[in-house]
Structure 1
């Protein structure tokens, strides 16, 4: 599998953030371990896509990667290291006049770190014999119900080993947002700390609500008589139903606003709920309604299309 995050996600280097997010979500849905239990190839593809998305969604990391300053894992790129060059002059080095041993890439970094710890401080000869390294980061995808994302909550992820991981969903969580759970990744080596877990959220659609920033949007059907005469009706909100007044003469497309009934995310102004009215005709127009409208049209007819020209 390629180490290039652009190739992993199948996007061009000029791809927008939205294109990158769309590509990642497609791979995550197709290859998530929960959907393919026991499929090592799917799990590897999912993990690679998560790591690539984590790097490319961050403008600063992406720019540094494009300039060659960091590698696909986000680590600083280092020159090739050799045992001879880095350690040949250490006092007490038994291989001081020996041959040159070269290592490359990630193996070189690990080997060099091991030898540094073995060599101890300058002048001290070979000292510590242990090796310490931070654990690997873990990447997961989590589908979150719309209301959980809007109001906050707690969910659990089942891990490949059968254990689970609690994920606290913050109020106002957004689609594609990645949460960092410190110390919830792979175990470290020696005294090295555990890695972190990165959980990318995918917000599920809701049958009634949608979001525009921290505002909640919905369409409310009203009857013909409610539109003409006005009424008080019950309307759902993300925090429970409330009573709303429909004004006399309401029309389709008219928007009512409920102040402070949107998403209340920490550090941001609470959003509103916007209700778009839609006049719904009765399933059948009976004779009484037809006769009434015929008489009403004779004396009150009007042209709502007046002034509308092609």
Structure 2
């Protein structure tokens, strides 16, 4: 019998989309095959969690499950124990009647299973539609800079074929993409490939929503006198104007150099970090002659 996706993810039936997504991310992180090598139980559980999220993250599927029209794996529900659907990708038990499914009456369920036509003016059931093949789950590691620019990614599927995948605006770790008909074959057609995106970290960039943050070292001379300095971005180096008298912690903005978001591309936020030269006697002499001041006065100390 297929599992209840709400139970699998540990959420209530009235859970919001955000709660469902949060629960899936937590479980997927704990159970991911990369963190549970040679652990079949974790792999099976990961497949069940992915399957459950596949149902509950799709408004149409969630509604059909809640009405009892499909089981927890997205297959047509089989009332009264009649034969179940195909087993899902990385999932355990074959499909069956979705225990705990709420809502719809059996007339609607039968209509969904067997179609509107009934033999002899409604005296018997029609033939059940053949089930599709299983969905297959994939993980795609995407470099930070590629994700920011939304560069297409080449994916190699289980059959050895490659697909160029176009990343969606606002992509982030945990984003799932569906390739229709790229799963396992079945009597009713092939299932789908479900691809989970994982964006890699970067050695000096940090993501902040659709913006990218960068701590930029500048010399004391550049901070005092100002000038233009070369700054790395995900699109390549650009020149950035440093205002004269800039302090450490000052944030400068490079528009349109962030992540490709749904509302347009974000910016790169550059935080200046002044590096003092070591062993500079002239700087030491200047500091000793400088008038006393308290830059912390605004903090009340």
Q: TM-score, normalised by structure 2?
A: 0.72
**Aligned ranges 1:192-231 → 2 under 5 Å:** 192-231=188-227
Stretches of structure 2 lacking an aligned partner (at least 5 in a row): 84-95, 99-109, 121-125
Partner Cα distance (2:59, 2:131) in 1: 28
Q: 1:233 aligns with which of 229, 239, 264?
A: 229
Shift of 1:292: 2.1
Deviation at 1:165, TM superposition (A): 4.2
Partner of 1:307: 298
1:285 counterpart residue number: 279
What residue is the counterpart of 2:5 in the other structure? 5
Please say if 1:22 is aligned against 2:26: yes
User: 8 Å contact 1:8–1:52 — kept in the other structure?
Assistant: yes
1:140 aligned partner: 138
Gaps of 5+ in 1: 84-103, 107-111
Q: 1:195 to 1:252 in 2, by over 3 A?
A: same
The corresponding residue for 1:184 is: 182
Question: Structure 1 residues 187 and 63 mapped into 2: Cα distance closer, same or farther (>3 Å)?
Answer: closer
| Pair 260,129 (structure 1): closer, same or farther in 2 beyond 3 Å | closer
**Segments of 4+ moved more than 6 angstroms:** 66-69, 128-131
**1:130-166 superposed Cα distances (whole Å, 9 cap, x missing partner):** 984322211222221111211122132463x6x2543
Shift in Å at residue 239 of structure 1?
A: 0.7
TM-score (norm 1): 0.70
Quote the RMSD (CA, aligned, Å). 3.9
Q: Deviations over 1:163-184 (max 9, x none)?
A: 2543514154222110110110
Q: What CA distance in whole angstroms lies between the structure 2 residues aligned with 1:133 and 1:12?
A: 28
Bigger Cα Rg: 1
Which residue pairs with 2:87 in the alignment? none
Q: 1:149–1:172: 8 Å Cα contact kept in structure 2?
A: no
* 1:218-277 deviation digits (Å, cap 9, x = unpaired): 111212221111121111111110011111111122111112222345x63222211111
Per the TM alignment, residue 42 of structure 1 is displaced from its structure 2 partner at its CA by 4.7
Counting matched residue pairs gives 267
Q: Could you tell me which residue of structure 2 aligns to residue 153 of structure 1?
A: 152
**Equivalences for 1:244-263 in 2 at 5 Å?**
244-263=240-259
Judged with a 3 Å threshold, the aligned counterparts in structure 2 of structure 1 residues 242 and 264 are, in CA distance, closer, same or farther, namely same
> Equivalents in 2 of 1:130, 1:23: separation in Å?
35
